[in-house]
């Protein structure tokens, strides 16, 4: 890994072919070919630029080369220009085919040729030169298997710095190569430009460069992946230097002195210090907490374990954390933070505040972050300088909208540049475009409703952002999933096929049920649905098709209605009409009779079909399970759950007596907000794992499974029976009050009307259906106003109250949100 660095640092020569350009700067010496070649010596560095006398082309490239002289000299690479007369016999003089190429030498040996159009600026020149010199030391990886192989070779031996850059020759690539030149003897460097590789290791924000530190020296087991730390700052040479220095520093330092007097490398690098205050009686637990905090803040702050018993009463009794900013003479801040996530949040908030203070656009008016209660608005403001590759999507206008959506299968994002959620979702939309680049038959487009409001009005867009799918000959389909990359990608991919799919034979139906017909789609859904009908069952079949169309993009549906459909119904012990719910991953098929089933009931069955019997609850999937209006039987676990409990929960879920509950679990490592939930229930963090029954919908009672009992199927059933009989007391009752923002909402209409208080306040028009909006948009000004329309049903279903036999407080009428 280090053998070549000493040689490279000693001397390199680069020869560049170009036409003559009269230099006016002393930083680029001019030599004849004989003079230049006579100076070449092993271990000496030189950059020679060959130019034909009398030509004036390629002057832009020459200017960039002059800018690269000083940084190349910093790495031992000097630069010269060689003027070629017509009679020169050198192989690098007078060759027309070589005029647009650059040549890299070490001594008198040619190493590499570059087309000069790849050396488009000073960053590209420096990056390409260093990358060529360090080619054997900086490993370029294309696929995940190569990265894992490199990891395995380093385990227990050395650490690795892995970087993703969008392209070779970018400023980020230069920064990585400069870091490799300096730190290549200490760490293995790896580089990729493959987005798929970045995605496979779980990276987000894939449109920007990434750098990871792989702690492979700590991993000795080949089956264990190297622990990774992501550098969150932009990839610049200085940021990489600071990041690498923090990786070399001790993970945790124990101190027994006044925090104001402590000095570490973190302070020298401009990073804050976090002190975990420890007592002798709780030393082991405090050290584990400090190590956990240190791993999560690695590269962002220094973490120290401060002994309270060794400091003379200068620490307040109630404080358990101390925070010290990097500024000189900055006072130590003593805090009471009972949760690791609160410590992390405090450090990150401090970092964000510093970024805002150092913003170059100091005269630009932004939101008051001291009182900003809109986290989305705050995030958009902070990320406003991050460029998005918008060219991956087609921007539509009033002139191009209709022609685009009527001639191609199109996804359209309706958004407004002044709307914070729109701009936040635009990033996810671009992430989807990156993932689908070159593979999708569906065109991804966007239209800014701030510029083209007439188009958005005609398309019944009354809120932002909205995503719609347009297919020829079909009505538009609105996307109703989470505003994130994963769910939107699922919606687009499932919509590649018909909904529902027409199955032509028994054999094709069996392949469909086994998950073999659309294998690539089962990465997005775990269930496929097949409706079975005889040819005469036209009404039931049409109901099923309508339900499938309403859930288009969320579930895969198929229809088999041939004369031999009874064969499948007999095989799976059901009668026609019927629905088969196939779960290929679990190897099981469930049956549902469709006799006299209304469309809306079918929609509910299909919507619930992808839900798991014993799911891991996350922030993203929680709404789907809350929608079932059932109490949650939830296990809070600090990591994965045991196979024994999983089998117990699955066996319990299949029993009819517990169909009124939703068994589930939450991994606090994946969803740390669960710790705050437990603290809200118990007052402090209880021992884990913890099994609770949370009755969200009628009464808000929270019950805890007795900690003295083992979690078995029999004990669980007995406990649930006691709950139903009212023999157990809840540990807490959740408040039924509304959730509101911490700050009052602005009544913009009142503000606008304030100067002219005599004018009557206009009533906000209510929502229209799509046909009404189109009709209204097409009416000329001065036409008759449309009649008043009802509130949409969705706004009247803000809260649903489940009437059950559970003990509950006196019923209260649901309260609707009155804030804007």
Q: In whole angstroms, how far apart are CA 149 and each of 142, 143, 153, 177?
A: 12, 10, 6, 22
User: What angle (nearest 5°) sits at the alpha carbon of residue 725, between those of residues 723 and 727?
Assistant: 65
pLDDT at 744: 59
Q: Is the pTM of this model over 0.75?
A: no
Q: Tokens at residue 778, please?
A: 């097409």
Residue 463's pLDDT is: 85
* Residue 784: predicted pLDDT: 40
Check residue 806 and give its pLDDT: 41
pLDDT of residue 606: 84
Question: What is the mean pLDDT, run by run of 10 residues, along the chain of 820 residues?
Answer: 43 44 54 77 72 66 83 81 68 58 77 79 88 87 90 91 91 93 92 86 74 90 85 91 92 89 89 91 90 92 89 80 86 85 82 55 47 62 69 91 91 90 89 83 90 90 90 87 86 86 90 83 81 90 88 87 90 90 83 84 84 84 86 87 79 70 87 87 87 85 88 84 87 74 55 50 42 47 40 31 37 35
pLDDT value of position 178: 93
Q: Which residues contact 627 (CB under 8 A, 6 or more apart)?
A: none
CB atoms under 10 Å from CB of 572, counted, come to: 16
Q: What whole-number distance in Å separates Cα of residue 617 and Cα of residue 634?
A: 9
Q: What angle do CA 767, 769, 775 make, to 5 degrees?
A: 105
Structure tokens at 717: 């059933």
Alpha helices (runs of H) in 321-468, residue ranges in sequence order? 340-357, 375-382, 401-407, 420-436, 453-458
The helix, strand and coil proportions of the chain, stated in percent and rounded to the nearest 5, come to 35, 20, 45
Look at residue 549 in the predicted model and tell me its pLDDT: 85
Q: Smallest Cα–Cα separation from 514: which of 454, 586, 457? A: 586
Round to whole Å and give the CA distance between 414 and 632: 36
Give the pLDDT score at 163: 93
Nearest to 480 by CA among 465, 460, 501: 465
DSSP single-letter state for residue 233: S
Give the pLDDT of residue 53. 66
């Amino acid at each position: 890994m280090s053998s070549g660095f000493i040689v490279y640092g000693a001397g390199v020569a680069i020869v560049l072919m170009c036409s003559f350009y009269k230099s006016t700067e002393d930083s680029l010496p001019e030599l004849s070919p004989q003079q230049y070649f006579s100076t070449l010596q092993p271990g000496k560095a030189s950059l020679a630029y060959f130019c034909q006398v009398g030509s004036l082309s390629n002057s832009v490239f020459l200017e960039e080369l002059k800018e690269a002289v000083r940084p190349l000299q910093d790495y031992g690479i000097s630069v010269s220009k060689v003027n070629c007369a017509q009679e020169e016999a050198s192989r690098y003089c007078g060759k027309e085919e070589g005029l647009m190429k650059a040549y890299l030498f070490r001594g008198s040996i040619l190493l590499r040729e570059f087309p000069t159009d790849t050396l488009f600026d000073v960053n590209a020149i420096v990056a390409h030169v260093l990358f060529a010199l360090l080619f054997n030391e900086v490993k370029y990886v294309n696929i995940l298997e190569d990265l894992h192989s490199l990891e395995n070779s380093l385990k227990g031996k050395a650490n690795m710095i892995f970087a993703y850059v969008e392209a070779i020759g970018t400023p980020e690539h230069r920064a990585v190569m400069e870091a490799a030149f300096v730190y290549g003897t200490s760490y293995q460097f790896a580089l990729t430009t493959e987005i798929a590789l970045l995605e496979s290791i779980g990276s987000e924000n894939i449109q920007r460069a990434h750098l990871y530190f792989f702690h492979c020296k700590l991993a000795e087991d080949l089956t264990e992946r190297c622990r990774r730390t992501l550098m969150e700052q932009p990839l610049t040479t200085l940021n990489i230097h600071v990041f690498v220095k923090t990786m070399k520093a001790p993970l945790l330092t124990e101190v027994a002195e006044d925090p104001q007097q402590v000095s570490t490398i973190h302070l020298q690098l401009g990073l804050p210090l976090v002190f975990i205050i420890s007592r002798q009686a709780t030393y082991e637990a405090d050290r584990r907490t400090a190590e956990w905090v240190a791993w999560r803040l690695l590269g962002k702050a220094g973490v120290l374990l401060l002994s309270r018993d060794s400091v003379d009463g200068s620490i307040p009794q109630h404080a358990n954390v101390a925070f010290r900013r990097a500024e000189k003479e900055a006072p130590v801040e003593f805090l009471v933070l009972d949760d690791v996530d609160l410590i992390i949040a405090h450090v990150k908030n401090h970092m964000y505040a510093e970024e805002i203070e150092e913003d170059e656009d100091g005269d630009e008016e932004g939101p008051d972050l001291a009182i900003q209660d809109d986290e989305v608005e705050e995030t958009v403001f902070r990320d406003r300088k991050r460029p998005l590759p918008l060219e991956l999507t087609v921007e539509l206008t009033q002139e191009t909208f209709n022609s685009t959506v009527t001639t191609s299968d199109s996804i359209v994002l309706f958004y407004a540049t002044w709307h914070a959620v729109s701009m936040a979702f635009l990033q996810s939309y671009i992430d989807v475009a990156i993932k689908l680049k070159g593979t999708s038959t569906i065109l991804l487009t966007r239209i800014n409703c701030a510029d083209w409001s007439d188009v958005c009005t005609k398309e019944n867009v009354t809120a932002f952002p909205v995503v719609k799918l347009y297919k020829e000959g079909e009505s538009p389909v609105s996307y109703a999933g989470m505003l994130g990359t994963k769910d939107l990608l699922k919606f687009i991919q499932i919509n590649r096929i018909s909904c529902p799919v027409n199955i032509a034979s028994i054999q094709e139906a069996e392949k469909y049920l086994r998950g073999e017909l659309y294998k690539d789609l089962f990465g997005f859904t775990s269930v496929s649905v097949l409706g079975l009908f005889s040819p005469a069952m036209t009404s039931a079949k049409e109901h099923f098709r309508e339900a499938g169309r309403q859930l288009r993009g969320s579930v895969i549906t198929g229809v088999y209605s041939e004369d031999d459909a009874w064969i499948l119904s007999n095989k799976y012990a059901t009668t026609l009409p019927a629905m088969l719910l196939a779960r290929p991953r679990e190897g099981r098929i469930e049956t549902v009779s469709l006799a006299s089933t209304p469309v809306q009931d079918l929609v509910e069955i299909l919507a619930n079909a992808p839900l798991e019997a014993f799911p891991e609850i996350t922030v993203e999937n929680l709404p789907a399970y809350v929608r079932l209006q059932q109490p949650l039987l939830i296990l809070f676990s600090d990591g994965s759950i045991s196979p024994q409990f999983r089998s117990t929960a699955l066996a319990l879920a299949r029993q009819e007596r517990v169909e009124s509950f939703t068994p589930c679990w939450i991994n606090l490592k994946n969803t740390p907000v669960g710790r705050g939930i437990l603290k809200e229930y118990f007052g402090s963090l209880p021992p884990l794992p913890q099994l609770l029954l949370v009755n969200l919908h009628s009464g808000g009672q929270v019950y805890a499974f007795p900690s003295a009992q083992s979690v078995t199927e029999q004990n669980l059933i007995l406990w649930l029976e006691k709950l139903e009989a009212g023999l157990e007391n809840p540990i807490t009752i959740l408040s039924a009050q509304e959730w509101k923002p911490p700050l009052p909402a602005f009544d913009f209409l009142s503000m606008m009307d304030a100067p002219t208080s005599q004018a009557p306040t206009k009533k906000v028009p209510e929502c229209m259906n799509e046909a009404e909006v189109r009709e209204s948009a097409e009416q000329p000004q001065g036409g008759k106003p449309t009649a008043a329309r009802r509130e949409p049903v969705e706004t009247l279903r803000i809260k649903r109250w489940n009437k059950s036999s559970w003990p509950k407080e006196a019923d209260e009428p649901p309260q609707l949100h009155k804030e804007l």
